[in-house]
Chains A and B, each alone.
Chain A
Amino acid sequence: MSLVTTRPGTGAARPYAFPAIRRVSAHGGTVVAAHLPGQLLANAVLLLDAGAARETDGREGTATVLAKSLEEGTRKRDSAAYALALEGLGAELVPSVDWDNFRVGVSAPVPLLIDAVRLAAEATRTPKLDPADVARVRDDEVTALRMDWAQPGPRADAALRADLFGADGRYNRPLHGDPTSVAAVTVADVLAFHEAWLRRPGVLLVAGDLDALDLGALAEAAFEGTAGEPLEPAGPLGVTLPPARRTILVDRPDSVQSTLRLGHRAPERATPDYVPMTLAATVLGGAFTSRLNHLIREVKGYTYGIRGSYAMTRRSGRFEVAAGVQTAVTAPAIRDTLGEIARTQAEGVTEAELEVARSWRAGQLSVEMQTPGAIAGALSTLVVHGLPDDYYETLRRDYLEATVEDVSRAAAEHLAVEKLTVVVEGDGAVIRDELAEFGELTEAAL
């Protein structure tokens, strides 16, 4: 007997379907719920139009300080009592801030979700926000950011963002601010942000077994006592590119790896090219067998991993390649990376590569959307970007039907190897001299 030598064929595929979506409205807010029969846990996310983009210049990080202050007690109970009430349900509050939204998430066993949502709403709508607590949380956040910035990556990210979005106000500083901007946040800033944006109803996303969840009660819990109209979204920032490629060194003495961040601006999420752009980036740097990972990791052994992707929000977009490479091969790794980006831009993709990319992206819609948390995340994409309920079925079809011509055109149009900003965070004493070949070299003081 021996191993089976021929690769088996494909069995019969079951049709793809996103969970059924139901809606309930109350007090100006809407519950958007996905039915996951049999799931023992349920997830709920209060989604508020209060992202980092609403922060004041120079006070970047205000929303993050607010997010971390929500659990410092409410008008009804102090922080210790709040923690015990919530954690006694097996739930934890997950407040987060992105460019477009402020989210407060909880997950809990299905019968306890209503209580968890009541507590999440209590913290979101009526936090105590005692000035001494807020000031302490702000100081702790400055320390936490300094801890984070001691890791490789955050300073390189900040340098890239500052260069790409230099003229775009809030977007030119990190999502959660930096140690300087957070230190400048005042208690009044935090209170004002809460008053202006967190008392509006917003949307409650729910993913769970809807046969056992009372959406009307969840709507009451989330929206009772709120006020305010939905906000008009601001327009896109547009795609501005520099005249030529440039290089920024972020010094990290004695670093055994160089952290690479190469990027340029790209369209926002609403672009009609979303699917071909995603597939082009998958071929270039998304899949394990992508051009970048194959060459830089599997052939050259320069890195543990390298990724290229488009990141898009409601108003902004950017293309980015990210990797950590051994210090000694910094320049060769950048050279090879630029080579693969240039090749993809100029020559597009092949059918064999695209076949992997399309099937992977389409398959991931079922493989990676099994949990209530993942489904709640998928619902948020629908709500934030105004997409229809059958969007994921359409998206899957669009992935599978994308042609080499579509994707190659998107690569040509939305990659710009000569306009990249190349950020290298590493040991300047060792790598500085070899970076000039990649474009005018400056050093970031971060």
Chain B
Amino acid sequence: MIARVTSPTAPVAATGYPWPIETTQLPNGLRVVVSEDRTAPVVCVNLWYDVGSRHEPPGQTGFAHLFEHLMFEGSQHVKKTEHMKLVQGNGGSLNATTNPDRTNYFETMPSEHLELALWLEADRMGGLVPALTQETLDNQREVVKNERRQRYENVPYGDAWLRLLPLLYPEGHPYHHATIGSMEDLNAAALETFQAFHRQYYAPNNAVLTVVGDTTPAEVFQLAEKYFGAIATVPDIPPAPDGTLPGPRGEAVRETVTAKVPAARIYLSHRTYPFGTAGYDAVTVLATILGNGRGSRLYQRLADGSRIAQPDYIGSYGVDLAHAPAPLIITATAKDGVPVEALEAGLAEVVQSLIDEPVTDEELNRAKALLTTAWWRGVSTVGGRADLLGRYATQFGDPATAADRLPKWLAVTADDVTEAAKHVLRPESRVTLTYVPGEPS
């Protein structure tokens, strides 16, 4: 018997979110989103605060992220170290992340501990400032400086993102600086600044509480009122600086870094469209066609075809930022003996092909199939779903619109991809960051 493989066809999906969603809003402005799923005895509690590094004024880079660390160090009724102990000590997993757009906090717990998680989150939303001490700040400042060393300074190419942002976004733009911040600013961070930061931004009317999993909307709404209801609204929260930009850069820019790296590497980057727009949906499909998987143009032409790029280190992806045209990043690393100029010429040619050579049905269907699997993988956990709903509630005002993203990707046409390529991939708007091996000057 010969195994038969059906020919791939474009996947279809009417919705990317086939679970119920219910929402309410407390009188203090806290939006509450609940998505019930009784499959497993687990529940995720997720909070999106609409504050990220884009809100940081000059001289305070890295503060939103350092603040995120302080949120784990105790609050009015939770002693120092108790937060982690109570979550893990009741079987849960927890974390938090900060990016340019927002800060999120989340814990997935066995569902009998839902109320505990809500109490912990409410206590640090409404009662952090009284517990915040200089000692805690000094300690977490050192932890964050070690995070900076570990993730950005001590690894080859580790500072690429820190270098790309100021090339992509002009001075004064909310995305100009990286979320991790500078050592100088972190060293200068004062306790009062963080107290003020919490009072300003960690407000119920600046947050979305999402609960997904083994519970009911009625239970969550009642508990939300019980634990968060007393927290006061903060009037007139100042918005981040306006990130409006006319899409792509007006002129090309390049930076070349000589560093202790094992091989030459190139990052090409373009500003595209904000996450959530039709243009960015096209860019998402474009990035998959260009650089995701062994069937992508970059892999087929540079890793496989001309064999000038290392197969493990080639690809392209968008960074899903919503408040200004988001970056598309394209990267390749030279194989032994390949001049970096040859690699750059090869990359440029493949990028240009998206403008000059129509996308085939096969390429389009491959990209959509991969995006479909990635989407379903992302929502296969209660944690993935909670973060998704929190994002859409925060950034687009309605968690139910999360269901539209996958169908919108699947509706992107070959022409849409070509149009997006013509708009965003012009060499005149390109940022080129090149690393070459050598002793740093």
Report which A residues bind B (CB closer than 8 A).
1-14, 16, 37-41, 71, 79-80, 83-85, 87-92, 107-109, 115, 118-119, 121-122, 136, 140, 143-144, 146-147, 149-152, 220-221, 224, 254-257, 287-289, 294, 297-299, 301-304, 324-326, 355-356, 359-360, 362-364, 366-368, 370-373
Contacts and interface: CB of A to CB of B under 8 A. Distances in A.
Given A71-B294, A143-B336, A147-B263, 7 more contacts: A4-B227, A140-B311, A143-B263, A256-B154, A257-B154, A366-B42, A371-B381
Given A221-B3, A289-B85, A367-B93, A1 B380 contact: no
B40 A359 contact: no
A256 B413 CA distance: 48
Name the residue among B89, B90, B123 with the largest chain A CB count within 10 angstroms: B89
Which 4 A-B residue pairings sit nearest by Cβ, starting from the closest? A363-B91, A88-B8, A301-B142, A90-B369
Contacts of B116: 7-8, 10
B133 interface: no
Contacts of A150: 156, 260-262
B139 interface: yes
Nearest to A299: B139
Interface in B141-185: 141-143, 145-147, 149-151, 153-156
A366 B88 CA distance: 13
Interface stretch (B58-66, B103-111, B344-352): B103-111
B7 to A, nearest CB: 8
B110 A87 contact: no
Contact of A87 (B151, B310, B369): B369
B236 interface: no
Interface string B36-63: 0001111000000000000000000000
Interface of B: 1, 3-8, 11, 39-42, 76-77, 81, 84-86, 88-93, 108-116, 118-119, 122-123, 126-127, 138-143, 145-147, 149-151, 153-156, 214, 226-227, 229-231, 260-263, 293-295, 299-300, 304, 307, 310-313, 333, 335-336, 362, 365-366, 369-373, 376-377, 380-382
A83 B298 CA distance: 13
A257 B142 CA distance: 13
Nearest to B10: A88
A1 B119 CA distance: 15
6 contacts: A11-B112, A13-B112, A14-B41, A87-B370, A289-B88, A367-B93
A80 B89 contact: no
A376 to B, nearest CB: 12
B92 A37 contact: no
A79 B91 contact: no
Contact of A151 (B86, B155, B369, B382): B155
A54 B140 CA distance: 46
Contacts of B141: 301
A85 B369 CA distance: 11
B291 to A, nearest CB: 13
Given A3-B123, A118-B5, A298 B139 contact: yes
A146 B262 contact: yes
Interface centre among A40, A88, A91, A115 (most CB of B within 10 A): A88
A119 B114 CA distance: 43
A389 to B, nearest CB: 19
B149 A257 contact: yes
B229 A41 contact: no
B373 A91 contact: yes
Given A41-B377, A356-B88, A294 B81 contact: yes
A30 to B, nearest CB: 19
A93 to B, nearest CB: 9
Contacts of B4: 118
Nearest to A356: B89
B86 A7 contact: yes
A141 B347 CA distance: 22
Given A16-B41, A90-B11, A115-B6, A324 B146 contact: yes
Contacts of B40: 366, 370
B126 A360 contact: no
A136 B42 contact: no
Nearest to A142: B336
A367 B149 contact: no
Contact of B304 (A11, A80, A149): A80
Contacts of B145: 326
B154 A255 contact: yes
A287 B88 contact: yes
Nearest to A17: B41
A367 B108 contact: yes
B91 A88 contact: no
Nearest to A224: B1
Contact of B93 (A2, A298, A302, A368): A368
A90 B123 contact: no
Contacts of A362: 91
Contacts of A370: 40, 42, 380-382
A20 to B, nearest CB: 14
Contacts of A83: 293-295, 299-300
B295 A367 contact: no
Contact of A147 (B140, B262, B365): B262
A302 B150 CA distance: 12
Contacts of A297: 143
Contact of A4 (B3, B84, B119): B119
A156 to B, nearest CB: 13
Nearest to A14: B41
Contacts of A41: 373, 376-377, 380
A367 B109 contact: yes
A8 B380 contact: no
Contacts of A366: 40-42, 91, 110
Nearest to A78: B304
Contact of B81 (A10, A140, A298): A298
Contacts of A108: 373
Contacts of A364: 91, 93
B41 A109 contact: no
Contacts of B3: 118, 121-122, 221, 224
A87 B294 contact: yes
A3 B231 contact: yes
Contact of B146 (A10, A302, A363): A302
